[in-house]
Amino acid sequence: MKFSSKIERCSLSPMRKFAAVAERADERGLHIFRLNIGQPDLPTPDSFWERLRNFHQPVLSYSPSNGLPEYLDAVIHYYHGLGVDLSREQLLGTTGGSEALQMALSAILDEGDEIVIPEPFYPNYATMTNLTGARVRPITTCPEEGYRYAERERVEACINEHTRAIMITNPGNPTGCVINREELKLMLDIAKEHGLFLICDEVYREFVYNGERLMSALQFEGYEDKVIVIDSVSKRFSACGARVGALISRNRELLAHCLKWSQMRLSSPTVDQLAAASLYSFSKSYFDDMREEYMARRDTMIRGLRKIPGVVCEVPQGAFYVMAALPVDDAEKFQQWLLTEFDDHGDTLMFAAGRAFYATPGKGVNEVRMAYVLEREKLERAMEVLAIAIQKYNAR
């Protein structure tokens, strides 16, 4: 049977490709520190559960394709607090940030088109791009420069007649790089001058550790028809399993096209949208407490990594990942070995192997992305296990 050339170009997610191997390790009784997936362990706020349990309609109906009004209004209220005024027509409720990304890329990209993305990047961007028939053109960055990319020459060198959009994650996944006001304005200027969309994945907005509040691309005037912001409750409220996100833009034509996608899949889950709406009635201290906890976790992981000879990593400024180069030949081989041949007192660990975070062939082979989404004591132990594992792996 013949399959789509587009799906043939896609790969399994590096975060999830070892899921089956890990399941067998679980069955053997191993304890796995799962640092591969950005799945926070903080409790989902009570307001979510209360709304879920207080849903008392007899029929679980479709919701409007563009999103439940209650949810849209909650998102609008939240953005109002950031100084961004939106109307219901400027956003679409989506099944997670993932669907918002799929919608945006499907609306823009054609066979043979290109999208410029700083690498290392979230690997599902490549899968989503490949499925449209377009290609990722990477702006290569490196840890020595803090993974920064917002320099005119560097970005413009990647733009050609096939380019349709630039996509950035701010704060960065996997790099933790946070770009500042001037850098964001530069990216917007470049997009505007070249007639490109700037897709800003801002789902880690609240996870910034350097004191200043993150600027959203929606806060700048004069770029209204260029900006697409990707939003989600997953990380912000530790509610990944709700699958509730949003696509936000002031480009009416873009939204009209994306609405076709919305209607095609009928609607997002009804109860989850209602419960997600109630999350936005959060207390003032909620994000501060969360930020403090994640910052302590980041420092714990970095401290542990610094003790391991040969590990190269930078202190991330945002999100909740560390990208690190390990002193191993191949991070995927090392992952396989960790799940099938290694344990330290019954413990082992998982990370996301680095290769898939790069579009440039050969890059990232010995790099890994680790999510600091566990309690500090667990992260401390996980880094101990990693140190022992690296030593044993290289002494085989």
By CB under 8 A, the residues from 60 to 79 that bind a copy of itself are 60-65
Identify the residue among 51, 205, 243, 381 touching a copy of itself (CB under 8 A).
243
- Report CA-CA distances (Å) from 290 to 89, 207, 295, 375: 31, 8, 9, 12
Closer residue to a copy of itself in complex, CB, 141/278: 278
- Report CA-CA distances (Å) from 308 to 54, 382, 385, 396: 50, 12, 11, 18
**Which residues are 227's β-sheet partners?**
198
Site residues (CB under 8 A) for a copy of itself, limited to 363-392: none
Identify the residue among 24, 26, 28, 53 touching a copy of itself (CB under 8 A).
53
Residue 140 touching a copy of itself (CB under 8 A):
no
Q: Is the dihedral of CA 251, 105, 77, 70 positive or negative?
A: positive
Residue 240 touching a copy of itself (CB under 8 A):
yes
The residue written with tokens 């089956």 in the block is 20
Identify the residue among 261, 280, 320, 334 touching a copy of itself (CB under 8 A).
261
Strands 31-34 and 347-350: parallel
Stretch that binds a copy of itself, among 54-62, 198-206, 293-301, 385-393 (CB under 8 A): 54-62
**Which of 17, 29, 99 lies closest to 272, judged by CA?**
99
Closer residue to a copy of itself in complex, CB, 140/270: 270
Residue 329 touching a copy of itself (CB under 8 A):
no
Note the helical H segments in the chain: 5-8, 19-27, 46-53, 69-81, 96-108, 124-132, 152-156, 181-193, 252-264, 270-279, 286-306, 331-340, 376-394
Residue 110 touching a copy of itself (CB under 8 A):
yes
**Which residues are 197's β-sheet partners?**
165
Which amino acid is it at 360?
A: T
Identify the residue among 148, 154, 185, 257 touching a copy of itself (CB under 8 A).
257
Q: How far is the CB of 109 from a copy of itself (least distance, A)?
A: 6
Q: Kindly write out the interface string for residues 112-131 of this chain, putting x where it contacts a copy of itself by CB under 8 A and - elsewhere.
A: ------------x--xx--x
Residue 363, token pair as written in the block:
């890059």
The length of the chain, given as a count of residues: 396
**Which of 141, 123, 113, 109 lies closest to 228, judged by CA?**
109
Which amino acid is it at 164?
A: R
Identify the residue among 208, 218, 254, 255 touching a copy of itself (CB under 8 A).
254
Residue 58, Cβ density class (10 Å: 0-12 exposed, 13-18 middle, ≥19 buried)? exposed
Site residues (CB under 8 A) for a copy of itself, limited to 264-283: 264-272
Identify the residue among 36, 132, 169, 278 touching a copy of itself (CB under 8 A).
132
Q: Quote the distance between the C-alpha of residue 155 and its chain's center.
A: 21
Residue 42 touching a copy of itself (CB under 8 A):
yes
Number of C-beta neighbours around residue 142 at 10 A: 14
Residue 157 touching a copy of itself (CB under 8 A):
no
Residue 377, token pair as written in the block:
């004591």
Q: How far is the CB of 371 from a copy of itself (least distance, A)?
A: 12
**Site size toward a copy of itself, by CB under 8 A:** 81
Q: How far is the CB of 309 from a copy of itself (least distance, A)?
A: 34
> CB under 8 Å to 335, separation ≥6 — which residues?
18, 350, 351, 353
Strands 321-325 and 367-371: antiparallel
Strands 347-350 and 321-325: unpaired
Closer residue to a copy of itself in complex, CB, 249/300: 249
Stretch that binds a copy of itself, among 79-87, 166-174, 256-264, 287-295 (CB under 8 A): 256-264
Residue 225 touching a copy of itself (CB under 8 A):
yes
Q: Kindly write out the interface string for residues 5-34 of this chain, putting x where it contacts a copy of itself by CB under 8 A and - elsewhere.
A: xxxx-xxxx-xxx-x---------------
Q: How far is the CB of 165 from a copy of itself (least distance, A)?
A: 9
Residue 1 touching a copy of itself (CB under 8 A):
yes
Site residues (CB under 8 A) for a copy of itself, limited to 186-215: 195, 197
